[in-house]
Chain A
């Protein structure tokens, strides 16, 4: 009953958030200068044709009318069509002229659904690696505040945060793929191709995780129940892993939920560097091509995912710590 009412309440709020985000993005993308139709039709297209296309696509209607039309589509699961991508999914470029002979345009939703699982796989692996590493570094750091494991955690996070992901990506690809031949790097032909980009993402993700984990671990270890636990006869390992970690995982979870939207920024670059066919590559190509319907669709889908992930995070957090109420 609790879970159900929680979900109903949060999902309603979530729907509202996604709606606000959609409106914001929709408006923002329409005040950007540069006529999307010109982008779509190509530089060589005559003005009259551009006006014609714009009219046909309803791009000269008031924004609110366009938004209404768009949202009624979204509700039915239709995120519109890409401006520039053909149905076969190729990313396109160049001075493509929009004449009547254009191939059928790709559905935004299809494009997203095709690439999303790839990115989820990448992000999932990255989070697993980042968490494993952060635990390895952060827990000893949190258990020994001020001593060397703490400093080690501090220096590692300092160094990691100053590594630009595209720099690191290239270095790791050179080292692990070209020089040592341990891992494949470019493109995607199997799970092994996910590992290297995931490592790069994990490095980007872990400084904040390490820091949060160290701080909250150190904080929890100061809690009375930890000290009392020892007197009650619990072993240190049990206190650390059974209790302290459990408590420290709540802020960590919240952080992960928030980090998701930051993760997309990293995914973007990393997928581009490694030519990994996920949502990030789709996004960066959409941005580079100014494919507005696609950008819009991606933004709405990611914000929806973000909202869901945070609902899930909060749900898990309340399950871990029943004092929390959302």
Chain B
């Protein structure tokens, strides 16, 4: 029992942010943190750059200029030029544009994969945890089975059938990684399910589906989604592993994965090719993470307790 519970907490939050709807209050509280603003700014800059810069600059990310290959980024080594702020790769493509276009594709892959994982994993986990019994046993055994099939085996099976296109890759990555979410969701739902407000909703006449979707989902998903940001990055990296064994996104489409995988060979004398996407990945991820962490903290503060 925390001390605060013993006291009728009349105002935990500043008065100024009362009165508005809860989501707006969370947002406002988060916005008041410098960390959040910083993360948001970086994220917006990256987003805007990724959306507009490639077209605006007029540089084709697949256009090669063999003569200008392996130009280093600005100021870092001799031979840099303003024309290619982040240098060029092994066949003379502009790294900045490639990284930004790669960001688009990788982000697409990462986010859709995680979305797919969340959809499949959380719904199965919720059904298993909510109904329990035989349904639970069946779903969890499927989950265990899926969990124990290494991703790579699934990848060659599925990506072998179709050419490795982006949707196919999303499918493979998403389908091979949902069990973790199913497990987490199940365990949370199992504890939440026993709480009295679920019982109250049943007495109100709410159907099971309604309880799962309207009552439990909004409650358990935010922390899970917060954790899944790490997976967005992991999926981007996994995509590069697929590229590594020839099952990644086919050239010339740039993704972080295949830029890193191709640039690996040049790490010794053109380190920036393999490193730049990593830096972008790290910055993107950290900014999203930063926002996520602040939002989560704000959410917990508004909701007044640990999740």
Interface residues of A (CB under 8 A from B): 13, 16-18, 20-21, 24-25, 28-29, 31-34, 146, 154-155, 157-159, 161-167, 170-171, 174, 207-208, 211, 218-219, 222, 224, 254, 258, 261-262, 264-265, 268-269, 283-284, 287-288, 290, 295, 298-299, 302-303, 306-307, 310
Q: Digitize B31-53: 1 where CB-to-A-CB distance is under 8 Å, 0 elsewhere.
A: 00000000000000000000000
Q: Would A207 and B157 be within 8 Å (CB), given that A167-B275, A258-B147 are in contact?
A: no
Interface flags, B223-249, vs A, CB<8A=1, else 0: 000010010011001101100111000
Contact yes or no, A164 B152, CB < 8 A: no
Q: How far is the CA of A34 from the CA of B246 in the complex (A)?
A: 15
Complex contacts, A218 vs chain B, CB 8 Å:
306
Nearest Cβ on chain A to B106's Cβ, whole angstroms: 11
Q: Which residues of B contact A (CB under 8 A)?
A: 1-2, 141-142, 144-145, 147-154, 156-158, 160-161, 179-180, 183, 227, 230, 233-234, 237-238, 240-241, 244-246, 260-261, 264, 267-268, 274-275, 278, 281-282, 285-286, 289, 293, 297, 306
Q: A24-B145, A207-B230, A224-B1 are in contact. Are A265 and B152 (CB under 8 A)?
A: yes
The listed residue (A34, A174, A265, A307) touching B160 by CB distance below 8 A is: A34
Q: B256 CB to closest chain A CB, in angstroms? A: 8
Q: Judging by beta carbons under 8 Å apart, are B148 and A261 in contact?
A: yes
- Give CA–CA (A71, B65) in the complex, Å: 55
Residues of B within 8 A of A167 (CB): 260, 264, 267, 274-275, 278
Please provide the 5 A-B residue pairs with the shortest distance between their CB atoms, ordered closest to farther: A303-B148, A28-B157, A162-B282, A306-B148, A32-B160
CB-CB < 8 A to A170: which residues of B? 264, 267
Which residues of A lie under 8 Å from residue B281 when comparing CB positions? 162
Q: A211-B230, A265-B238 are in contact. Are A306 and B153 (CB under 8 A)?
A: no
Q: Which of chain A's residues have a CB closer than 8 A to the CB of B157? A: 25, 28-29, 31-32
Query: What residue in chain A is nearest B227 (Cβ atoms)?
Result: A211
Shortest CB distance B86–A (Å): 16
Which B residues are in CB contact (< 8 Å) with A146? Answer: 297
Contact A287 B306 (CB under 8 A): no
Contact B147 A306 (CB under 8 A): yes
Q: Tally of A-B residue pairs with Cβ under 8 A? A: 139
Residues of B within 8 A of A310 (CB): 144
Q: B154 touching A28 by the CB < 8 A rule?
A: yes
Contact of B141 among A13, A165, A171, A174 (CB under 8 A): A13
Task: Check A21–B145 contact: CB distance below 8 A.
Answer: yes
**Contact (Cβ within 8 A) A20 B141:** yes
- A162 CB contacts on chain B under 8 angstroms: 233, 237, 278, 281-282, 285-286
Q: How far in angstroms is the closest Cβ of chain A from B102?
A: 13
Q: Are B149 and A24 in contact (CB under 8 A)?
A: yes
Closest CB in chain B relative to A129 CB, distance in Å:
19
Q: Is the CB of A303 within 8 A of B149?
A: yes
Q: Chain B residues with Cβ under 8 A from A307's Cβ? A: 144, 148
Minimal beta-carbon separation of A91 from chain B (angstroms): 14
On whether the beta carbons of A161 and B150 are closer than 8 Å, the reply is no
Can you list 21 A-B contacts (CB < 8 A)? A13-B141, A25-B157, A28-B153, A32-B157, A32-B161, A157-B230, A158-B289, A163-B282, A258-B147, A258-B179, A262-B151, A264-B150, A265-B151, A283-B150, A287-B152, A288-B246, A295-B153, A295-B156, A298-B150, A299-B150, A303-B150
Q: What chain B residues lie within 8 Å of A29 (beta carbons)?
A: 153, 157
Bound CA span A306–B245, Å: 24
Contact flag A16-B260 (CB < 8 Å), given A25-B153, A33-B161: no
A290 to B157, alpha carbons, bound, how many Å? Answer: 10
Q: Closest CB-CB distance, A252 to chain B, in whole Å?
A: 14
Which of chain B's residues have a CB closer than 8 A to the CB of A161? 230, 233-234, 237, 285
Q: Which residues of A contact B144 (CB under 8 A)?
A: 13, 17, 307, 310
